[in-house]
Structure 1
Amino acid sequence: MTEQFQKFSDPGRSKPKSAEVDPPVEPKGKISPVLVSVLACVVLAAALSSWLCYHTYQTQIVAQRDAQLAELSQQRASLTAQNIHLYMARVSEAIAQFADKPLLKTALEANDETQLQRFVAGFQGQLDGALKVRVFPRGTARLDNDIYPPIRFSELELIGLAERQEVALPEAARINNEWLITMVAPVVQDNTRLVYGTVMVSLRAAVLAPLLAQNNTGLGQVTLQQVFDTGAPTTLISVAGAPVAPAVVVPVKDSHWQVVFAAGPALVAQTGTNGLWQLAGVALGCIFLIALSAWFGRQLGTRIAAAREDKAKGTWKTIQAVASAGKDVAFTDPIFQRRDILDVEIANEDEALLALDEKAQKPEQTIKDEQLDDSANETEQSSIAISETIFRAYDIRGIYGREITKDVAYLVGQALGSEAMDVGDDTLIVARDARLHSPQLTEFLIRGILSTGCHVLNIGTVPTPLLYFATETLADSGSGVMVTASHNPADHNGFKVVMGGKCRSEEDIKAIRSRILSKNIYTGSGEERRKDIVPDYINTIFSDVALAGDISIVIDAANAVPGVIAPRLFEELGCHVTPLNCELDGSFPNHSPDPSIEENLQPLIAKVQEVGADLGIALDGDGDRLVVVTPQGKILWPDRLLMLFAKDIVARNPGADVVFDVKSTRHLANVITSSGGRPIIWKTGHSPMKLKMAESGALLGGEYSGHIFIKDRWYGFDDGLYAAARLIEIVSLQGQTLDEVFADFPESPSTPEIRVSVPEESKFALVEQLIERGEFGDGKKTTLDGLRIDYSNGWGLVRASNTSAHLTMRFEADDEASLHTLKALFVRQLREIDSTLKIDWDQTN
């Protein structure tokens, strides 16, 4: 093109009359304006997208996760600090009660060293972890480094505080490579309030280690430190962990101590946030923005290229016109001056696309991101399987990991927290049994409850009767939930519910699932507190039950949660206790926690006979059921225990109602009537029984499986521990052996419960068909709960279990021949309906 321009402007050349000139050609190697525009817009959009993703990740994922982890760590540290405070408060109370004993004061005033030593030895044996208990008359304590534990200045200072009746907080000191805790209490004269002396107790700090490990094992590192006004904190006990987060410090009330908790990977894994969905939404938006910027860059580049081409064409036409006119063309003319890309005019719509217009905003994108987050939550929650079969007649129960999961626990917590507020309780009392998966389920259950705005009072690992006791006696709430699968195998778990002081009926239990599915859930932010209910429970029974003599017992807790409290309770009552399987092990290594299975009672029978005990007590997996063994090894099934309870309670309350279930012996009704009471037969199950007792005002109820309900002097809920205490009281007053006591009650040949495995979905239909099609002659038919047929010489029962996938049969007759005839009749009728049924006849032997 330059040569052509030179040809027209060279004065040495002749000018043609006309010029036909080709249009200019784009030089090779020059980058296309379209490509430049697309790249520029994409780079800008990519930079903006990267910043948005990073900002969302930091604010929606990292920040929320850190906040949730800090909250969980604070919760763990607070609960541990509260546990330690409660334990030390109990020890302090025990020391104060010992210091307040009149006999101790008398011995101290008389300087009776022998009596003092006897009292001290007795108290030291009762106090767990006590290394040494000493009593110092006022003003006699001296430095002594030769005794163990030594008396040093710090101990003298504590004794001085006690003698002045000032607050003396526990102090820990490292002595001979062991941390010891020193506690003191003054011995005060009742009238003058003068101090006779001081009780000083030295405890091993190691007794606090289980409290630090409780519910924290594997979740992080938890440490108990002692810190005074001056000086650095000193570590007393530390439970190992692998901390991956900043530590949280919570002081222990009424002490110089603090709990330090640093979360580990397991607790971090429990933190969940929906930020990932928001990040996904932003990422999608960014992809859309980059695609849009590429499209806009192409449009803009095309416009620029078109403008250049139009301009070049216009310029070339001018050149042609000038050339045709025979004029010189100079490159200094304005039409040949280049314009920068920023000088190109941009249309208004292009300004909006580039966000160059200050009024252009992106509210629609924000809405889309929020909608994506909500829909993601909906999808996540709706994907959680809520099996209909776990919502049973009495409780919520199923196989852990398949039917009962942490997600199900969370949803159940939401439903129960909402329901509690509907019945007027702003707090739910929560407890759990000792199954291996109960801690995790409890954690997520509590999270669900708190998310509704309902508060939680956590009473820890205790038997179910203590949850019932808490709902009856605490002002905090009349509603609660127990994480337990009761007597079922180790791989099962679930929830027992009390709402407004009442157990839930079958309709109420199923309504929980409906509430979850309909999302009738409140939202809020509740708070969790802890309380040790065990001392209140033991003291209440201790003040109610009085034994007339020494009783020796064997307690088989099946390695389940009753082992936490049963030995302690009966020792407090004055029994000589031989514990059997009282160590907690949620895998139930010795036998399943079901005392209604005769095989499970054989170790108890053997131990009772081995030690010569007055009776044996078998408790189930959560402590609300009881079966008793006599010194001769005879099993006293609960329907026979009800005979003795009825005779005792009805004699003092003439005309009282007694409720019992369809599986109970027919002799029970006769004993109740002859004692002056009114027998009421009713459905099996702790919930139906309690509802019937409330309806009838009965003072006593029970069922063959072991639930015994005592409203006389107690609260009417099923409590294997309290029932055992009342039984021991009766036996101690009668002055006879248990075998002699029950020899006076009628008994006929009978079977234990015979369980026939059937599919869960067909068990009720089988019973219905038996009722409709079964041929049982002239027997009296009762269809209150399954099918019971009574004849003149005996009775038989078939019913569908409400707690597991099987039918339950039981038979009783005047003699073995009649018993065999009854069994054969029922089995024959059952097999007419389902010939595949298999019956374990060993259960009937």
Structure 2
Amino acid sequence: MATLDPDNINAVFKAYDVRGTVPDQIDDELAAATGRAFVQVLGADRIVIGYDMRPSSPTLAAAYAKGANEAGADVVLIGLCSTDELYFASGSLGLPGVMFTASHNPAKYNGIKQCRAYAAPVGMESGLAEIRDLVLQGSPLAEVKTGTVTEQEVLEDYVDHLLSLAPVQGRPLKVVADAGNGMAGLTAPAVFAKLPGIELIPLYFELDGDFPNHEANPIEAHNLVDLQAKVRETGADIGLAFDGDADRCFLVDERGELVSPSTLTALIATRELKKAPGAAVIHNLITSRAVPEIVREHGGNPVRTRVGHSFIKATMAETDAVFGGEHSGHFYFRDFWRADSGMLAALHGLAALAEADVPLSELLAPYERYPLSGEINSTVADAPAILAELEATYRARDGVTVDHLDGLSVSTPDWAFNVRSSNTEPLLRLNVEGKDRATMEQVRDEALAIITKGL
């Protein structure tokens, strides 16, 4: 019963998912209670559930399904899948969806990502608070019937749908993909089997939720080392790095250099704007200022939003945006039910490269305008105090603009940075860019000195 303690429930219900350590914060009892509450808050009579390769995921998913059944809902269980495959199931079946994963977090974590039918978001502002409150109160069992569980395979349909959205045609390519022992180890072989002329070199495709090679978190540079080395060693045209549930993808060019997710956002935006001229394109507040510039240059309407998939999806719905990109490596597509898909982003990169006669670094050069620090994470004891000190330091300076859309954003014509708290870990995340590398590094070092003072 410890996991149903109010303090624990409040701790694991985050801004847009449920996440914590297993079994002390998340166990079968919490999963079942959340399943009952989800069904009752949404008024659902049928839902679809999938799960990743973490050892605890199948049993947690089964417990959630039992709770959903007790609330009167039938369950379609699609088994092992990536998060974007779950979104595909939710969209194609028209059902609310539930994914058991902790994404990029270490092996001791697990979590629950939930969505309404057609992959519409469930975050604190769109239903998750009500689900949490019902778990706190204790949701009653259904009076009419107990639901059933049926199994369904959707992988092949998912692959066909992705390839219809971003067909890869043109010159042969050699591709290294690092699944990090995560769910891309299941989805990538299925996708690449239908890409003739593309040679796939797999890294860590064995599904293993203990992550024996490296954490499946490509935003951390040390987790890309093996991929970068393999790209250089094999003379590959491109490298792909997926996170644990494969809803994010990072690219590495033919030199083994990391491609900024902002650069990939700009590239995909130009491709999607060809399909939908004049459409809105969403970018979050830590994306490079090059993104809105390029969107405008290609006739689109850039719209800035907070970090996080529920905020991105809600803003896409409001603006009917064709595409959305986050600097964290999440990419959202209107024709994929506004959901994020690491594999679809990868296919856009492969398609653009296959159509070009130049290496990836040269293809992307026009989209890279400002040096970026990348995300720098610092464990801190008092995030609000640090944010207040940063704001006081910079607000007094001439030409500085400050806003609080998400954390603290500070900008001038020559540089900008954002500092925000993590939704899942005790971290402050710093992202900096400047008109040139010297400017970026100067601002980065000054801001980081304030963040880390006294640590």
TM-score by length of 2: 0.93
Asked whether the equivalents of residues 571 and 577 of structure 1 are also in contact (C-alpha less than 8 Å), the reply is: no
In structure 1, the partner of 2:96 is: 479
1:591 matches 2:210: no
Residues of 2 paired with 1:636 and 1:663: CA distance? 16
Asked whether the equivalents of residues 384 and 407 of structure 1 are also in contact (C-alpha less than 8 Å), the reply is: no
In structure 2, the partner of 1:698 is: 321
Aligned-pair distance for 1:679? 1.2
Aligned-pair distance for 1:562? 1.6
1:582 matches 2:205: yes
- What's the secondary structure of 1:440's corresponding residue? helix
Question: How well do the aligned residues superpose, as a CA RMSD in angstroms?
Answer: 2.0
Asked whether the equivalents of residues 623 and 720 of structure 1 are also in contact (C-alpha less than 8 Å), the reply is: yes
- What's the secondary structure of 1:744's corresponding residue? helix
Residues of 2 paired with 1:800 and 1:384: CA distance? 23
1:530 matches 2:151: yes
Structure having the higher helix fraction is 1
Of 803, 808, 832, 2:424 maps to 803
- What's the secondary structure of 2:340's corresponding residue? coil
Aligned-pair distance for 1:435? 0.6
1:442 matches 2:61: yes
User: Which protein shows a greater Rg?
Assistant: 1
Of 112, 116, 119, 1:495 maps to 112
Residues of 2 paired with 1:578 and 1:749: CA distance? 30
- What's the secondary structure of 1:658's corresponding residue? strand
Partner deviation per Cα, 1:27-61 (whole Å, 9 max, x = no partner)? xxxxxxxxxxxxxxxxxxxxxxxxxxxxxxxxxxx
User: Does 464-473 or 563-572 show the bigger shift?
Assistant: 563-572
Asked whether the equivalents of residues 168 and 347 of structure 2 are also in contact (C-alpha less than 8 Å), the reply is: no
Partner deviation per Cα, 1:556-577 (whole Å, 9 max, x = no partner)? 1000112112122122122211
- What's the secondary structure of 1:387's corresponding residue? helix
Aligned-pair distance for 1:745? 2.5
Q: 1:440–1:726: structure 2 CA closer, same or farther, 3 Å change rule? A: same
Partner deviation per Cα, 1:435-468 (whole Å, 9 max, x = no partner)? 1111221121111111111111000000010110
Asked whether the equivalents of residues 377 and 427 of structure 2 are also in contact (C-alpha less than 8 Å), the reply is: yes
Asked whether the equivalents of residues 555 and 567 of structure 1 are also in contact (C-alpha less than 8 Å), the reply is: no
Name the amino acid aligned to 2:316.
M
Number of residue-to-residue matches in the alignment: 447
Gaps of 5+ in 1: 1-378, 838-845
Residues of 1 paired with 2:107 and 2:83: CA distance? 17
Asked whether the equivalents of residues 392 and 510 of structure 1 are also in contact (C-alpha less than 8 Å), the reply is: no
Of 334, 337, 355, 1:733 maps to 355
Aligned pairs for 1:270-309 (under 5 A) are none
Of 677, 682, 686, 2:300 maps to 677
Q: 1:432–1:799: structure 2 CA closer, same or farther, 3 Å change rule? A: same
Of 346, 351, 364, 1:724 maps to 346
Q: 1:816–1:699: structure 2 CA closer, same or farther, 3 Å change rule? A: same
Name the amino acid aligned to 2:363.
V
Name the amino acid aligned to 1:745.
Y
Aligned-pair distance for 1:653? 2.5
Identity over aligned pairs, percent: 31
Asked whether the equivalents of residues 378 and 451 of structure 2 are also in contact (C-alpha less than 8 Å), the reply is: no
In structure 1, the partner of 2:79 is: 460
In structure 2, the partner of 1:513 is: 132
Residues of 2 paired with 1:586 and 1:755: CA distance? 23
Q: 1:695–1:766: structure 2 CA closer, same or farther, 3 Å change rule? A: farther
Asked whether the equivalents of residues 386 and 408 of structure 1 are also in contact (C-alpha less than 8 Å), the reply is: no
Gaps of 5+ in 2: none
Aligned-pair distance for 1:384? 8.5
1:816 matches 2:434: no
Aligned-pair distance for 1:382? 6.6
Q: 1:693–1:766: structure 2 CA closer, same or farther, 3 Å change rule? A: farther
Residues of 1 paired with 2:275 and 2:5: CA distance? 57
- What's the secondary structure of 1:503's corresponding residue? coil
TM-score by length of 1: 0.51
Q: 1:403–1:791: structure 2 CA closer, same or farther, 3 Å change rule? A: same
Partner deviation per Cα, 1:155-175 (whole Å, 9 max, x = no partner)? xxxxxxxxxxxxxxxxxxxxx
Residues of 2 paired with 1:767 and 1:504: CA distance? 30
Asked whether the equivalents of residues 429 and 470 of structure 1 are also in contact (C-alpha less than 8 Å), the reply is: yes
Residues of 2 paired with 1:827 and 1:515: CA distance? 41
Aligned pairs for 1:107-256 (under 5 A) are none
Asked whether the equivalents of residues 767 and 786 of structure 1 are also in contact (C-alpha less than 8 Å), the reply is: no
Residues of 2 paired with 1:382 and 1:725: CA distance? 42
Aligned-pair distance for 1:417? 2.4
Aligned-pair distance for 1:716? 2.1
1:787 matches 2:408: yes
